């Protein structure tokens, strides 16, 4: 018998009870009030904060902590040490940072550019005024204040057209472009104060959960730092990555040249039948880089005896080596 199938008669009997039972993965059974949220039921557990619980799998489905339990349920805890829990925390701390940034710097624009290996996101700031350590301190202070206030995130489901209209008024053209291709007729939006956004997944119930973060000024923006899965309550040391930052900036310039600075813009290009041209230009830009690398190696031919190429599985190392070989031969090797 499939344990995920609930007998309608059994469900009807349960609906008349005032209490429910939750069965944890280790076999422990707890009784609580019917309709209580996961947060209310789980915060009494001894392991509630070690590492912090971010959500739970309820009868095989991932749920956020505001989910109400109406029937007896099997529950597996999701903490900051799990992939899903880590994503919930990152999503929520990013939302908090965006809300504080929007409140403090209404005339500036900020985008999440790329992830950072030590645990964080590089955020680029576009403003008429220089973004300095002073602004970083203001932003961090405001974020800590919001954490102390423990403000609830509110969740609402809105018609897709209303969501698109809202993002248009906020000047978020990339979100408007992306949502044009959404298949569902609704969108789940979260709010914190006057800030409202869509972050592709579940959030924590309130700002009080978001105690672990830091901000570091880098380049034309800053890095929002948060814990990694293997150390949920610790912000690791900030690593310097000037070469990688330069590469990301170059990649951003490429996307600007190609006119595809967002997924929505890429969808528009595909819809317009321009994808072949984009691929050809991308290949040309890539070839220019390989030529530059080959020339750099040729200039140091007296010093270089071996060329090492690293990268994850199936990332194109063999293809790259063959293309580099062609350019090295052209340079006299």
Region 86-114: what's the mean pLDDT? 93
Range list of H helices, the chain = 8-15, 38-42, 83-104, 133-149, 160-169, 173-179, 242-258, 263-271, 275-299, 317-330
The verdict on 89 and 205 lying in the same domain is: yes
The answer to whether residue 3 sits within a structural domain is no
Domain end residue (candidates: 28, 46, 78): 78
The verdict on 14 and 68 lying in the same domain is: yes
Mean pLDDT of the chain: 89
The verdict on 74 and 162 lying in the same domain is: no
Is the pLDDT at 268 greater than 70? The verdict is yes
Q: Which of 6-15, 117-126, 304-313 has the lowest average pLDDT? A: 6-15
The number of folded domains in the chain is 3
**252 vs 175, residue with greater confidence:** 175
pTM of the model as a whole: 0.83
Q: Phi/psi at 64 (nearest 5 deg)?
A: -85, 170
pLDDT given for residue 162 in this prediction: 94
Residue with tokens 């009784």: 31
The verdict on 95 and 71 lying in the same domain is: no
C-alpha distances (whole Å) from 256 to each of 85, 198, 250, 266, 274 are 34, 24, 10, 12, 15
The verdict on 90 and 202 lying in the same domain is: yes
Host domain of residue 303: 242-330
């Amino acid at each position: 018998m499939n344990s995920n199938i609930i007998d309608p008669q059994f469900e009807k009997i349960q609906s008349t009870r005032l209490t429910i039972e939750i069965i944890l993965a280790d076999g422990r059974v707890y009784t609580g009030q019917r309709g209580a949220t996961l947060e209310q039921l789980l915060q009494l557990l001894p392991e509630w904060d070690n590492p912090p619980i971010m959500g739970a799998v309820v009868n095989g489905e991932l749920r956020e902590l505001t989910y109400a339990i109406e029937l007896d349920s099997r529950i597996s805890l999701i903490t900051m040490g799990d992939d899903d829990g880590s994503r919930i925390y990152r999503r929520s701390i990013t939302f908090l940072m965006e809300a504080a940034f929007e409140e403090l710097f209404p005339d500036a624009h900020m985008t999440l550019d790329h992830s950072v290996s030590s645990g964080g996101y590089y955020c680029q700031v576009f403003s008429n005024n220089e973004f300095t350590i002073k602004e970083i301190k203001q932003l961090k202070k405001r974020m800590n204040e919001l954490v102390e206030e423990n403000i609830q995130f509110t969740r609402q489901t809105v018609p897709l057209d209303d969501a698109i209209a809202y993002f248009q008024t906020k000047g978020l053209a990339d979100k408007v472009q992306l949502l044009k291709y959404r298949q569902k007729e609704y969108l789940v939006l979260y709010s914190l104060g006057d800030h409202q956004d869509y972050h592709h997944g579940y959030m924590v119930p309130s700002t009080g959960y978001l105690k672990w973060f830091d901000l570091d000024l880098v380049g034309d923006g800053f890095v929002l730092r948060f814990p990694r899965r293997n150390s949920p309550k610790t912000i690791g040391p900030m690593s310097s990555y000037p070469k990688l930052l330069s590469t990301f900036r170059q990649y951003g310039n490429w996307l600007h040249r190609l006119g595809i600075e967002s997924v929505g813009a890429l969808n528009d290009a595909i819809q317009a039948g321009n994808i072949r041209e984009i691929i050809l230009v991308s290949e040309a830009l890539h070839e220019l880089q390989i030529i530059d690398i080959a020339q750099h190696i040729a200039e140091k031919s007296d010093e270089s005896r071996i060329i090492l190429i690293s990268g994850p599985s199936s990332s194109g190392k063999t293809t790259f080596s063959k293309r580099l070989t062609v350019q090295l031969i052209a340079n006299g090797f």
